[in-house]
Amino acid sequence: MDYSPLLISLRTACVATVFSVALGLTAANYTVRLGKVLKGLVDGILTLPIILPPTVCGYFLLLFFGVNGPAGRLAQAWFNERIVFSWYAPIIASTVVAFPLFYRTMRGAFEEFDKTLIHSGQTLGLSNAFMFWRVILPNCRPSLVAGTVLAFARALGEFGATIMLAGNIPGKTTTISIAVYSAMAAGDTALANRWVLIDLAISFAAMLVMNFAGGGLRRRKSGLSH
């Protein structure tokens, strides 16, 4: 059995999660400060990938990253690279689809965050950076963990947008979800079963991590109530 889909899936999901967290934190931290109208607009655009069917999302990605798309042309001109069907195309597709889940979770946490803590930090002379990294984020840990696991799970299960942008190239872009589809399409039920079991194991492990890591802060989190 060729185990490359497992490696490709893990690599794609891990890197896409890192990107989703970095982009999601930046975006959530930015949008909570916006006015109502602009916030709704930016929020709508950033959330679109989880509402659109993944294949539609992949179609837009092709338009943007394809050889005739703006990003595709730049990559071709500057690096002599073709993004479509490359080994990193699944990462791009998964990031775009997984990012909104992390972003939405964090935006909710930031919006509900006790403003008094931020105001008290400001009057005490603490910098915005200190408040963000040392006060806001640690106190949003449950959401941080939940958002990360959600994004990881979504990236791991990505199929539609990936097959549009990255195709099904064994050893290069074939992830577990694509491997299951290929095996079934080829009538190899035994192989499909094996991939399904592996996928179940990874998903279950991710849920366990979320439940354990997310619950650890409960003791200290209640410090605000009187």
Instruction: Give the interface with another protein as residue ranges (CB under 8 A).
Output: 114, 116-117, 119-127, 130, 134-135, 138-139, 217, 219-224, 226
Q: How far is the CB of 134 from another protein (least distance, A)?
A: 7
| CB closer to another protein, 44 vs 138 | 138
Per-residue tokens: 112: 């509900």
Q: How far is the CB of 112 from another protein (least distance, A)?
A: 14
Q: How many helices (DSSP H) and strands (DSSP E) are in the chain? A: 13, 0
| CB closer to another protein, 49 vs 147 | 147
The whole-angstrom separation of Cα 135 and Cα 157 is 33
Q: How far is the CB of 111 from another protein (least distance, A)?
A: 18
Per-residue tokens: 159: 């199929």
| CB closer to another protein, 62 vs 146 | 146
| CB closer to another protein, 206 vs 217 | 217
Distances (CA, A) of 76 to 60, 63, 82: 19, 15, 6
The whole-angstrom separation of Cα 174 and Cα 170 is 5
Distances (CA, A) of 73 to 37, 67, 86: 34, 6, 15
| CB closer to another protein, 31 vs 139 | 139
Q: How far is the CB of 211 from another protein (least distance, A)?
A: 20
Return the SS3 of 215.
Answer: helix
Per-residue tokens: 73: 């042309």
The whole-angstrom separation of Cα 24 and Cα 102 is 6
Beta carbons within 10 angstroms of residue 6's beta carbon: 17
Q: How far is the CB of 133 from another protein (least distance, A)?
A: 11
